[in-house]
Amino acid sequence: MSLSVVGLSHHVAPVELRERVTLDLAAAAELARGLGDAVCLSTCNRTELYLWDIAEERAAATLEAAAGEPLDGVLYRLHEDAAALHLFRVAAGLDSLVPGEGEILGQVRDAYEAVTPGPVLDRVFRQALGVGKRVRTETAIGESPASVSSAAAALAAQVFGDLRGRRVLLVGAGRIGELAASNLVSRGAEIAFVANRTEETAHDLTRRFGGAALRLDEIPTRLGEVDVVVSSTGSSDPVLRAVDVPSRRRTPLFFIDIAVPRDLDPAIGGLGGCFLYDIDDLEAVVAETLAGRRAEAERGEQLVAEEAERFHTWRASLDVVPAIASLRARAEEIRAAELAKVRVSDDERRTLESVTQQILNKLLHLPTVRMKEAAVTADGVAYADAVRHLFGLDDERRP
């Protein structure tokens, strides 16, 4: 039995491929339960299956079915310590498109809590959540831009040089849209309109940041009044197509699509006066912020490495702990059986119980310590097998 992860992310797959396998929380949990002892983590930047004692080919076939095409050369597969280390880095935000971004830890927690994993997956995910929290509290890696939303605002600022006086149409009033609005306003932009499937949610955002609430079908009529469109809905279909964008604009119109699946028709980028950026384009923005946070990222990597070593030690102990427990149980069985043959008074029996128990503990102490030490080396399994053989712990008939 082994721990493994099969998945794809922004490191190896473009957004047009990632969006095909992006699942909401309910669908991800259903997929994981269908596989067995598994957790499915699906975000805008990754879809990964964490597995215990499940064939990787089966998991890969599941992702390929969702993508509708073979994923050879795109899927990565990691095992045991490497799989655990990867999850710890993901939870800590070290593997994100925007290192240190804050949303991923909550997404890892949601994926874990949406299913009922077995002991090994439960352990590795609890450790991941713990180290993710430590990296955020003990380092400054989460400083701006700490999310895709803040990176989107930084990209808009790069495009215009100064966002003061620039009018923004925000598509999507969820958490990501709220963060985008906050970052844009902090840079001097004006939220002119908020479009959302649910108008009341759009009104909630306009009460905080200003602007007018729109229905999604009203977006094309307002494009001539804004400079920037930032879209972040959870729609599985485009919310704006190229044919709906008015032509013959006098001023440039910039579209920033931070949704996966994408909200905006890629053909919009080919229209005159229109400039379209998607989530993969944020990498350049992120790269400029990395130099100032390199030391914090290194500290985060140290914390993650320490947690990975703890997991390695615990995981390795699983091979020898049953042998240790069996050895102690066998010794106790012999001790109790021999004492039962002795006819003594109650006081004498209590003395014998105490003395023989101390002898047993001292006799087994060093073998127990040596087996635990060997557990973290390549000899751990050999030690456990030798103990089982020497003491006949696997024999059905004991002398």
Report the C-alpha gap between 45 and 101 in whole angstroms.
12
Partnered with residue 158 across adjacent β-strands are none
Q: What percent of the chain has pLDDT over 70?
A: 92
Rg over CA atoms, the chain: 29
What per-residue confidence (pLDDT) applies to 293? 66
Q: Looking at the structure, tell me whether residues 134 and 8 fall in a common domain.
A: yes
Q: Which residue has the higher pLDDT, 75 or 177?
A: 75
What per-residue confidence (pLDDT) applies to 314? 82
Reported as a single tens digit per residue, the pLDDT across 105-162 is 999 999 999 999 999 999 999 999 999 999 988 887 766 555 677 778 888 887 888 8
Active site residues: 44
295 part of a folded domain: no
Report the C-alpha gap between 166 and 180 in whole angstroms.
14
What per-residue confidence (pLDDT) applies to 230? 92
What per-residue confidence (pLDDT) applies to 397? 45
What per-residue confidence (pLDDT) applies to 162? 83
Q: What is the mean pLDDT of residues 64-85?
A: 91
44 part of a folded domain: yes
Q: Looking at the structure, tell me whether residues 281 and 183 fall in a common domain.
A: yes
291 part of a folded domain: no
Q: Looking at the structure, tell me whether residues 243 and 157 fall in a common domain.
A: yes
47, HSE (Cβ side, Cα atoms, 13 Å): 29
Q: Looking at the structure, tell me whether residues 125 and 158 fall in a common domain.
A: no
Contact 202, 225 (CB under 8 A): no
Q: Looking at the structure, tell me whether residues 263 and 155 fall in a common domain.
A: yes
Report the C-alpha gap between 59 and 274 in whole angstroms.
40
**Of 285, 317, 350, which closes a domain?**
285
Average pLDDT, the chain: 86
Report the C-alpha gap between 347 and 41 in whole angstroms.
61
Task: Tell me the residue length of the chain.
Answer: 399
Reported as a single tens digit per residue, the pLDDT across 195-250 is 998 888 889 889 989 999 999 999 999 998 999 999 989 888 899 999 999 876 67
Residue 187 has pLDDT above 60, yes or no: yes
Q: Looking at the structure, tell me whether residues 7 and 131 fall in a common domain.
A: yes
Domain count, the chain: 3
Q: Give the contacts of 309 (CB within 8 A, at least 6 positions apart).
A: none
293 part of a folded domain: no
pLDDT band at 390 (very low <50, low <70, confident <90, very high): confident
What per-residue confidence (pLDDT) applies to 316? 74
First to last CA, the chain: 32
Instruction: Return phi, psi of residue 64, to 5°.
Output: -65, -35
Tokens representing 286 are: 């992120």
Report the C-alpha gap between 135 and 141 in whole angstroms.
8
Q: What is the mean pLDDT of residues 43-71?
A: 91
Q: What is the pTM of this model?
A: 0.69
What per-residue confidence (pLDDT) applies to 398? 46
364, HSE (Cβ side, Cα atoms, 13 Å): 19
Residue numbers of the domain that contains 239: 148-285
**Of 83, 103, 138, which closes a domain?**
138
Reported as a single tens digit per residue, the pLDDT across 261-317 is 899 999 999 888 888 998 888 776 666 666 666 777 788 899 999 999 889 888 777
Q: Looking at the structure, tell me whether residues 13 and 63 fall in a common domain.
A: yes
**Of 104, 138, 172, which closes a domain?**
138
What per-residue confidence (pLDDT) applies to 159? 80
Q: Give the contacts of 381 (CB within 8 A, at least 6 positions apart).
A: 319, 320
What per-residue confidence (pLDDT) applies to 276? 92
Residue 373 has pLDDT above 80, yes or no: no
